[in-house]
Amino acid sequence: MNQVIAPMQVSVIVPVGERQGDAEELFSDYHAALAARGVAHEFIFVLDGPQPAFRAGLERLAAQGAAFTLVPLTRYFGEATALMVGFDHCSGQSIVTLPAYAQIDGREINTLLDALDGADVAISSRHPRKGGWFETLRRGAFHGLLSAVTRVHYTDLGCSARAMRRKVLEEIRLYGEQQRFLPVLAERQGFRVVEVQVRQSPHDRFGQIYPPRAYTRALLDVFNIFFLVRFTRKPLRFFGMIGVVLFVLGAIELLYLLYQRLALNLPLGDRPALLLAALFVVLGVQIVALGLLGELIIFAHAGSTKDYQVDQIVQYPAPAANSAVTAQPAAALQGAVDLQL
């Protein structure tokens, strides 16, 4: 008699980087929440680099009979890469990403999973949020800038505790430092994203002062997301806008210089304004050409990419066996099964 194996419902991916807590306490906290829910689940720990202390804690857990998957990377690749490695090794229909340190109350994992009943991605917003005035100012400035350039509003993208349906990571591939912007990328792709208030862990007391280069990288990341969200499919609008402005400024200056030469008989050979105007015109043409090149690349690959999501497909008339109108989720018609947790 063949044994029927229940499908895995929840996969928990924990990327382990420079900041980390006690592996045994963390696993106990996370595991207790999912065990109380009574769903089939798996844990996947991805070590971003050697991480000997955390690995030793996991080995002690394994000796005690704990079940999980350990995926060590040969060197540091970044949290986004670690998350994608974990996804490649998981099998759950719902994916939960959790930090390797205390950030939210472990029981709030179920709050995130419950939110998937009406959404594709559920992200955490710690409340009430601990931290001094500088932390509040830094957080507000970051989210305010992101909201201004992407037109989406979130309050706690620094929280790594998130839940999502499997199809989200099947269509969005993260790289670099994009893990914090996953909700923005998911919303751009047409997925439904909700932000859920969760209780912050009492042990979440990270008070590191970041160096100036960290803020510079964050600013560049926001600019990167701004371009990906607004102009990935229409690069000419971005480069064309800049190119046209430079070209027009250069052309106006050249016309003014030409007027001075012909009408006022002023010499132009020793005037830096002539070089600056010519530079603006040339740069404007080159930047517009760069945008056109981007449009050609997008056009050539348009058939192999998809930037939309279908909510449901409704069939009229209903099948003969049932006179009622039938509505099937698009994913179901493709053979995918979404488990309602």
Q: What is the pTM of this model?
A: 0.76
Statement: residue 336 has pLDDT above 50: no
Q: Is residue 334 included in any domain, yes or no?
A: no
Question: At which of 186, 215, 231 does a domain end?
Answer: 231
Report how far residue 22's alpha carbon sits from residue 250's, in angstroms, rounded to the nearest whole number: 61
Q: In a 3-state reduction of DSSP, which class is residue 67?
A: coil
Range of the domain at 252: 235-304
pLDDT value for 167: 92
The answer to whether residue 260 scores a pLDDT higher than 60 is yes
pLDDT at 216: 82
212 & 171 share domain: yes
Do 227 and 90 sit in the same domain of this protein? yes
Q: How far is CA 280 from each of CA 50, 236, 251, 276, rounded to the nearest angstrom? A: 51, 18, 8, 6
Of the residues 186, 201, 231, the one at which a domain ends: 231
Domain for residue 250, yes or no? yes
31 and 57 in a single domain? The answer is yes
| C-alpha–C-alpha distance, residues 311 and 329, integer Å | 6
In this prediction, residue 341 carries a pLDDT of 38
Range of weakest confidence among 117-126, 175-184, 236-245, 306-315:
306-315
| Better-scored residue on pLDDT, 316 or 227 | 227
CATH number (domain holding residue 63): 3.90.550.10
Q: How many CB atoms lie within 10 A of CB 4?
A: 5
Q: Let me know whether 158 and 123 are in one domain.
A: yes
- Stretch (H or E) spanning 198: strand 193-198
Please tell me the total count of domains within the chain.
Answer: 2
Sequence letter at residue 34: L
Average pLDDT over all residues of the chain: 84
pLDDT band for position 319 (cuts 50, 70, 90): low
Strand, coil or helix: 339: coil
Residues 224, 269 within the same domain: no
Query: How crowded is residue 328: how many other Cβ atoms within 10 Å of its Cβ?
Result: 11
Residue 265 lies in a domain: yes
Residues of the chain above pLDDT 90, percent:
49
pLDDT of residue 267 exceeding 50: yes
Shared-domain flag, residues 105 and 225? yes
> Do 257 and 277 have their domain in common?
yes
Q: Residues with Cβ < 8 Å from 206, sequence gap 6 or more?
A: 19, 101
Q: Confirm whether 337 is domain-assigned.
A: no
User: What are all long-range contacts of 284-287, with beta carbons under 8 Å and residues at least 24 apart?
Assistant: 284/243, 284/244, 284/245, 284/246, 284/247, 284/248, 284/250, 285/243, 285/247, 286/243, 287/239, 287/240, 287/242, 287/243, 287/246
Both structure tokens of 266: 């002023």
Contacts of 55 (CB under 8 A, 6+ apart): 23, 47, 70, 72
